[in-house]
Structure 1
C-alpha cells in the first residue's frame, strides 16, 4: 500500500439518498408546525451507503458537485442535433429570401 500525505487530489463523490425520516422534505411534522429534521441536518439528504447525515461543509460540496453534473447533462441534451430529414427544419441554412431558412417545400 502506498503512503500518501495531505488531502486527496480529487474530491470523492458520495452517493446521496433522500432522508428516510423526512422523505427529502428537510422538515418533520411537529404538533402544530414543521420542525427541522434532526437526522439529515434539515437538508433532506443522507449518505446512501450509511444513512447518516453529512457534515454541512461536506454536504455543500457534494450538492455543488451534483448541481454541476446536472447542469452539464442539461447543456449536453440542449446541444443534441437532429439528424435526417428533420435536420433541414431545425437548423437555419440561410438559403431562403433575406437569409431565412429554405427547406425546398
Structure 2
C-alpha cells in the first residue's frame, strides 16, 4: 500500500557530494582569514542531484545517517574473522557429546 499523504515513515538517504566551491573543507580562503562557505552552508556537502546546499535540518539528518553507516562499517571491520582451517575449529558444529564442538581430533 502506497502512502498518499503525511511525512514518510523512514528518512531516505540523499546522495551527497563535496562542495565544488570549498572542495569539502567548509571554509573558503579570504584575504586575511578563512570564511564560511556560503554555497554549502559551511558543511562541505551539497546534493548530487541539484548541486545546491541542503537545508540545515535535512543536512543534520543526512550527515547523521552517513555517520551511522560509517560506524557500522568500522564495527564490522573490527570483528576478527577466522579464515581457512581455523574457521572450522572456531565455529560450534554441535556434533560432539551434549551438543559440544567436535573437530575430529
Q: Secondary structure at the match of 1:8?
A: coil
Give the TM-score normalised by structure 2. Answer: 0.76
Shift of the alpha carbon at 1:13? 0.5
Match of 2:60 in 1: 60
Structure 1 segments of 4+ aligned residues over 3 angstroms from their partners: none
**Structure 2: gaps of 5 or more residues:** 91-105
1:22 is matched with 22
1:40-96, Cα deviation, whole Å (9 max, x unpaired) = 0001000011110000010000000000001111111112402125x48xx8xxxxx
TM-score under structure 1 length normalisation: 0.76
Alpha-carbon offset, residue 12 of structure 1: 1.1
Distance in 1 (alpha carbons) for counterparts of 2:64 and 2:3: 30
